[in-house]
Amino acid sequence: MPESLVILPGLLCDSAMFGAQLDAFENAQVIDGFYGGADRLEAMADYALERMPARVSLMGHSMGARVALEVCRKAPERVARLALADTGIHPVRAGEADKRYALRDLGRTQGFAALVDAWLPPMIGPARRHEDDLYEALQAMCLRAGQAVYEAQIEALLNRPEVEDLLGRLCCPVALIVGEADAWSPPSQHAEIAQFIAPHWADTCPLSTIAGAGHMAPAEAPEAFNTALRRWLAMPACTCATT
């Protein structure tokens, strides 16, 4: 039996982001995007490890990709394949904490809905940003998370561990997927990630760019995103752990 597809959501996201993936792939599972309220990526990885099958094809989206890398660090033997979508590996950048805390404070002073309505629109590509059905579904998803989850998750991101060395030691096939119009984690950033992938995977690491999609590519362009996932799932599973 092929490995289950386990999906790790990003900031303020839950299974609603991945409805098209759950419909398309047998044995697909989305880990609870609240991660038990954890405020560190390492603790989120522990949360996922406790809830996923013994061996999986693991896809992380945005913050979830960083959680996926921590899963690989902790239990490489449980990851048959790894996909990293709409994400980054860079350390905390100048001004990042101020921007995240400004949104936090907006939520504290004006209500969480104000935070979501400031944060969400730039996460959607221009082609679909003004579609009411899509926006309202993503808005409702984010509102379910709430202020406390947002604050815990930004603390996790602002205290993220270094992963460049880990990428160089991975011993499973890796795929990168990104929305063409992702303004937060652009395609150029994923090309940089590819440079750190372990040498024995570097030549076979596909980078799929989803035309017209933004940061929320799994929901914005589900058919194209699923096509990229199928290519990745067709790659041979790993037979070893990280070195």
Quote the pLDDT of residue 198: 67
Which residues of the chain have a pLDDT value below 70? 1, 198, 200-203, 239-243
- Closest-CA residue to 67 (of 54, 91, 49): 49
Supply the CATH number for residue 48's domain.
3.40.50.1820
Amino acid at 61: H
pLDDT of residue 243: 43
Per the structure, the complete domain to which residue 218 belongs is given by: 1-243
Taking a C-beta distance cutoff of 8 angstroms, is the pair 6, 48 a contact? yes
Q: Look at the chain and report how many structural domains it folds into.
A: 1
| CA distances to 63, 67, 104, 234 from 32, in Å | 13, 12, 22, 26
Residue 238, pLDDT score: 77
Q: What gap in Å lies between CA 104 and CA 96, rounded to an integer? A: 12
Of 180, 54, 184, nearest to 122 by C-alpha is 184
User: What are the tokens at 160?
Assistant: 């993220």
Residue 42 confidence (pLDDT): 98
Which residues touch 229 (CB under 8 Å, ≥6 apart)?
A: 5, 21, 24, 25, 59, 83, 177
Please name the residue ranges forming H helices in the chain: 19-24, 41-51, 63-74, 96-110, 112-119, 132-158, 164-169, 187-194, 199-202, 217-220, 222-233
Return d(Cα 70, Cα 176) in angstroms, integer. 17
pLDDT of residue 134: 98
pLDDT attached to residue 200: 65
CB 78 within 8 A of CB 26: no
CA dist 243 and 228 (Å) reads 27
CB 37 within 8 A of CB 60: no
| Separation CA 127–CA 215 (nearest Å) | 12
Residue 240 has a pLDDT of: 61
